[in-house]
Amino acid sequence: MMAWELWRQDDNGNRVRMGTFADRVEALAKVLALESGVVHKQTYWVDGPPGPVCRTNRDLYRRLAREGEGMNAAARSLDVFLRSWWRVARPLSGRASLDLDSVAAMVVAAGMVEPAPLQASWRSASFRYTDEPTSYADWEAIVLSQIADLADFADQGPLDEYARFGIDAPRTAGCVRATDIRWYNFDPQAYLECGMAGALGGWSEDDGLRKPVPGPVVPLVNEPEPGEHTIGFLGWADLAELARCGQEYE
């Protein structure tokens, strides 16, 4: 059986093996969880068979959908997930692209760490809107916009059962955010499943989560190519699209 070891080098240069994992994604997630709370300059890394273990859009779809289901079962709200996702992504902000294991590890880590506190400045900030996001800053603007929207929703009280059919965020006049005002998904499972389906595909009827629409359909946005595809790396533009679809895709 394959195994991956988690190592740490402390401030004095001492190396310590911290644990062994049967899953590379879980090991990488532990690194991100640790790095998101590091105060001193410590280095963490994973040693083991070269990755990734997630190689296709279907691999990533199944992983993220499963993590979303687990968060729902644990009553982890979408707001908490997004604030945690933002927190664990910050150590990766300097990378131009990520392999699929690292993308999956961000989501796994976001299901276990304490979320970043909600900052009042996020709710009043003007986030730059772009139709073609390219950078970590663009992805961050989208996620922080969504966090602010969810805080605005919370001020209005609990959502009713019809919210999943589409509802506009109650933004104040003049509010500038990097996302559309329309929302369809309000829990981690729906957000992650719809995010993957809308941005990268990878779903199957056998999953029991969605089915093809019968008859001819004219998509309102560009749809991913059907089927399973090998993906080497994803950039922040891809993750920005995943986040947007998490909010807007049905």
Task: Please list the rounded mean pLDDT of every run of 10 residues in the chain (250 residues).
Answer: 89 90 96 82 88 94 97 98 97 95 97 95 84 90 97 94 93 90 96 96 82 48 81 96 95
Helix axes 78-89, 100-110, angle to 10 degrees: 130
Predicted local distance difference test score (pLDDT) of residue 218: 41
Query: Does pTM surpass 0.75?
Result: yes
Identify the pLDDT of residue 212.
56
At position 216, the amino acid (one-letter code) is P
pLDDT at 226: 78
Question: Hey, what amino acid is at 186?
Answer: F
Q: Show the tokens assigned to 137.
A: 């800053």
Q: Are 19 and 2 in contact (CB under 8 A)?
A: no
Contact of 98 with 234, CB cutoff 8 Å: yes
